[in-house]
Amino acid sequence: MGLVAALAIGTGVVIAVARHVPGPGLSPAIASRTPDPKHGAYVAVLGDCVACHTAAGGKPLAGGVAFNTPVGAVWSTNITPDRDHGIGRYSLADFVRLMRQGVRPDGRRVYPAMPYTAFAKVSDEDLQDLFAYLTRSVAPADTADRTGPWPPHWPLAFWNIAFHQDRRFEPDPHLSAQANRGAYLVQGLAHCGTCHTPRGVGFQERDLDGRTNLFLSGARLDGASPVNLRGDAGDGLGRWNEADIVELLATGKSIHSAVLGPMGEVVADSTQHMTPADVEAITVYLKTLGPAPAAEGRATFAASGATLDEIKAGRQTDPGGRIYMDSCAACHHLGGEGAGRSLPSLAGNSVVLASHPDSLIAVILRGDREPGAAAAPSRMAMPPFAWRYDDAEVAALATYMRQAWGNRAPPVRPSQVREARRALGIARSRPPG
């Protein structure tokens, strides 16, 4: 009897928690403020709404982009003002609750693939303007949201209790106003940590506001390894000056490297359209971040000519090195230095040096293409090499690159390449075309 009662009470608590609809946390003053949809459009750029909410070939902001979470696929939703399929019936409070708590007006939870953990930092004013933009300036689209029975959404209430902090951004008194603006953007709208901060057992970001040096220290996500954005001289931004970072965000490339994978969309849809002041602020803030925690496998870089000397002397016998000379050196050069902004340097490249080699393996297997920003429209591409090399060869090549020219990062195992092929759906096959 006691067990039944306990179960009943427990179930009741679960249901109560799962159904609890929190408040939006809006200041009462917002009611008398006139929203600015034009600024809201810029907030949408800062938040890169379009990257996740516009499907390839779909209507703008009508959702339908798939995300593979550890528990299954979820799809982004229609955030146009369509009254039946979008947010046309939302109040400002409904919208803000969703942005900060991940709870829809009907009480249904959204997966934190929608980065409400970051958006909780965003100010009332910015959210009000964003809401005004989405509901007044965006064309309604009658695209129905895609959902399935799995994964369930109600457990997210408990996930929120465990991992979510519904806290607005707090300026750091030790930082300049400019750096605090950058921190506000990085932690909030730009939600950089969604990809760049390592995740914990509950797939939660292990730091949401930069209190620890885990914040933005590089991660693994969906077949990629978003790089370390902290001050490490090896795999981080330690050797980048502010102008390099500004240039990367504005054009997708710099003298050090070019963006890869989903970061291309971020540049194309968001960072290149940010005001110079905001890009500068982000850069200044990133440069305040100290090195990531020392960990086994954390890469280092100290430029060295030994690799090139070895090649020139004809002493290059490493199988990975041979592959590098055959397939990579034509563009990236024997010294790994690449060429300016056109052909990325591999020496000291944070993708090459990343703790997890997922992005490096992925780019070898399937190649990649630059986003093509307005200021640098060339969408230069690296061709795929999955067809040419087997798992052991790709691993040998990746290992070689991680240990050449002064790069020092742990080796890559063939099993990691095999896993990457499986995750990316890339078989070894004959050359394309």
Partner 1 sequence: MAARNRPVDVVIVGFGWTGAIMAIELAKAGISVLALERGADQDTVPDWAYPKVLDEVAQSARNGLLQNLSKTTVTLRHDKADLALPYRQIGSFKPGTGVGGAGIHWSGVHSRATPEELRLKSHVTQRYGAKFIPEGMQVQDWGVSYDELEPHFDRFEQVCGTSGKAGNLQGVKQAEGNPFEGPRSREYPLPPLKDPPTSVIFAKAARELGFHPFSLPASNASRPYRNPYGCDLGPCNFCGFCSDYGCINYSKASPQTTILPALKAMPNFSYRTHAHVLRINTSADGKTATGVTYVDAQGREVEQPASLVILAAFHLHNVRLMLSSKIGKPYDPETGEGVIGRNFCYQLISSVNTFFDSQTYINQFMGAGGVGQAIEDFNADNFDHGPLGFIGGGVMWGRQTGNGPVRGIPLPEGAPKWGSGWKQAVKDNYLHTGRIEAQMSNMAYRGAFLDLDPTYRDAYGEPLLRMTLDWQDNDLRMSEFFNEKLKATARTMGATSFSGRMLKRGDHWDTRAYQSTHINGGTSMGTDPRTSAVNKYLQSWDVPNLFVLGANVFAHGIGANPTGTVGALAYWAAANIRSTYLRDPGPMVRA
Q: Which is nearer to partner 1, 132 or 376 (CB)?
A: 376
**Rule CB under 8 A: is residue 314 a binding residue for partner 1?**
no
Total interface residues for partner 1 by CB under 8 A: 28
Site for partner 1 in 55-84 (CB under 8 A): none
Stretch that binds partner 1, among 192-200, 237-245, 302-310, 338-346 (CB under 8 A): 338-346
Q: Which is nearer to partner 1, 35 or 252 (CB)?
A: 252
**Rule CB under 8 A: is residue 383 a binding residue for partner 1?**
yes
**Rule CB under 8 A: is residue 339 a binding residue for partner 1?**
yes
Closest distance to partner 1 from the beta carbon of 252 (Å): 11
**Rule CB under 8 A: is residue 340 a binding residue for partner 1?**
yes
**Rule CB under 8 A: is residue 382 a binding residue for partner 1?**
yes
Sequence-ordered list of residues with C-beta below 8 angstroms from that of 309, at least 6 positions apart, any chain: none
Which of 347, 389, 350, 400 is closest to 367 using CA atoms?
389
**Rule CB under 8 A: is residue 147 a binding residue for partner 1?**
no
How many Å apart are CA 308 and CA 317, to the nearest integer? 13
Site for partner 1 in 203-262 (CB under 8 A): 253
How many Å apart are CA 325 and CA 11, to the nearest integer? 63
**Rule CB under 8 A: is residue 377 a binding residue for partner 1?**
yes
φ, ψ dihedrals at 75, nearest 5°: -120, 145
Among 68, 137, 165, 342, binds partner 1 (CB under 8 A): 342
Q: Which two tokens stand for residue 309?
A: 């000397």
**Rule CB under 8 A: is residue 19 a binding residue for partner 1?**
no
Q: Which is nearer to partner 1, 175 or 329 (CB)?
A: 329
Q: What angle do CA 300, 303, 307 make, to 5 degrees?
A: 105
Q: How far is CA 402 from CA 15, 144, 291, 342, 410, in A?
A: 51, 46, 20, 21, 7
Q: Which residue has the tokens 């709870």?
A: 103
Stretch that binds partner 1, among 43-51, 215-223, 382-390, 420-428 (CB under 8 A): 382-390
How many Å apart are CA 237 and CA 399, to the nearest integer? 22
DSSP letter at 410 equals -
Q: Which is nearer to partner 1, 26 or 329 (CB)?
A: 329
Q: Which residue has the tokens 């002041």?
A: 277
How many Å apart are CA 45 and CA 330, to the nearest integer? 38
Site residues (vs partner 1, CB under 8 A):
253, 326-327, 330-331, 333, 339-343, 367, 369, 372, 374-384, 431-433
